[in-house]
Chain A
C-alpha cells in the first residue's frame, strides 16, 4: 500500500514538472510582475539592487513576518535545548591549526558579513545573507575552542533591539501619515552607498537580528552536552 502510494506520488510529481516544462522554457522569464517592478523600482525606491527594493519596500511586511518566523524557530530551539547540565562531557581540545585558522577567519568573516549587509541595496546580498555570515563568524571561535560559552544576555539584547528597530522604522512612516514600512528619507543618487532612503537601516536591523539569532541558536546547540 505504501509502495503504491509512493509510486503514485512520484508519478504525480513527474507529471507536474513535465507540465511546467511544457509551458515554460528552462531559464526564461515568465511573470509579468517582475517586468513591471523592473520598470519603476529605480525611480520609486532608489535601490540599485531591485531584489532589495522588493524585499524591503514593496514587500516589507512579508520580511517582518519572515523575521517573526525565524524568531519563533530560534525561541523554540532554545526552549527545547534548555540549559547545559553541569559535569557534561566536553568535546576534546582542538589542535593548533584549527585554533589559528579560527583566529584568522574571525575578522575576515566579520568584514565580509558587514560588507554584504551594508551593500545590500547596491549589490546582491543583504541582511539575511550577511547575517548568516556574521553568525558563523561568531560561532567559529566557539567551534575551535570547546568549552568557551557565549554570553546569551548580550545576544538576546542585540536581537531584541534590532527587531524593535525594524518595527520602529515602520512605525515612523505611519507617523507621517503613510502606510506601515513605507521607505523614508531622501532617495539619493542611484548606486551611491548612502541612497535608497531607510532601506539600508532596515537591512542593518535585519542583519543584526538574523546574526544574533542564529549565533545564539548554534552556540546553544553546541553548549548542550553530547551523548557518548
Chain B
C-alpha cells in the first residue's frame, strides 16, 4: 500500500513538473490531467470514493476538455490541414 502511494505521488509530481516544462500546450494539458487522475486514485486508496469520482469526472475529464476548448479558441492549438 505504501509503495503504491509512493509510485502515484512520484508520477503526479513528475507530470506536474512536466506541465511547466512542456512547450506543446496540448501535451501540457495531457500531463495536467494525469495529475488529476493520480489524485483520484489516491482518493480511492484513502477510502473516499465520492471525492475520487468527482476528481475523475471534473478534474481529469471536464476541466481538460474546457482547457482544450479554450486553447482552440485562443489559437494556441491548431489543427492539421487548416490554414
User: Residues of A with Cβ closer than 8 Å to B?
Assistant: 26-27, 49, 51, 89, 91-92, 116, 124-126, 128-129, 132-133, 135-136, 139, 214, 217-218, 221-222, 224-228
Query: Can you name 7 A-B residue pairings with CB atoms under 8 Å?
Result: A27-B46, A124-B53, A135-B62, A136-B65, A139-B65, A214-B62, A218-B69
Contact with A218, one of B50, B53, B57, B66 (Cβ below 8 angstroms): B66
CA distance A214 to B69 in the complex (A): 13
A227 touches B75 (CB 8 A): yes
A51 touches B57 (CB 8 A): no
Mask of B68-80 contacts with A, CB within 8 angstroms, 1/0: 0110111100110
A125 touches B50 (CB 8 A): yes
* A132 CB contacts on chain B under 8 angstroms: 57-58, 61-62
Interface residues of B, count at CB 8 A: 24
List B1-15 residues whose CB lies under 8 Å from chain A.
5
B69 touches A221 (CB 8 A): yes
Instruction: State the majority secondary structure of interface residues on B.
Output: helix
Q: Which residue of B lies closest to A224 (CB)?
A: B73
Q: A126-B50, A221-B70 are in contact. Are A136 and B81 (CB under 8 A)?
A: no
Q: A124-B50, A129-B57, A132-B58 are in contact. Are A218 and B65 (CB under 8 A)?
A: yes
B50 touches A133 (CB 8 A): no
* A26 CB contacts on chain B under 8 angstroms: 5
B69 touches A91 (CB 8 A): no
CA distance A225 to B73 in the complex (A): 7
Q: A132-B62, A133-B57, A135-B62 are in contact. Are A221 and B73 (CB under 8 A)?
A: yes
Closest beta carbon of chain A to B2's beta carbon, Å: 9
A125 touches B53 (CB 8 A): yes
Mask of B39-53 contacts with A, CB within 8 angstroms, 1/0: 000000010011011
Q: Which residue of A lies closest to B49 (CB)?
A: A124
Closest beta carbon of chain A to B72's beta carbon, Å: 5
* B46 CB contacts on chain A under 8 angstroms: 27
* A125 CB contacts on chain B under 8 angstroms: 49-50, 53
Q: Which 3 A-B pairs have the closest CB atoms?
A: A227-B75, A124-B49, A132-B57
B82 touches A228 (CB 8 A): yes
A128 touches B70 (CB 8 A): no
* B83 CB contacts on chain A under 8 angstroms: 228
Closest beta carbon of chain A to B69's beta carbon, Å: 4
Closest beta carbon of chain B to A195's beta carbon, Å: 18
* B73 CB contacts on chain A under 8 angstroms: 221, 224-227
Q: Which residue of B lies closest to A29 (CB)?
A: B47
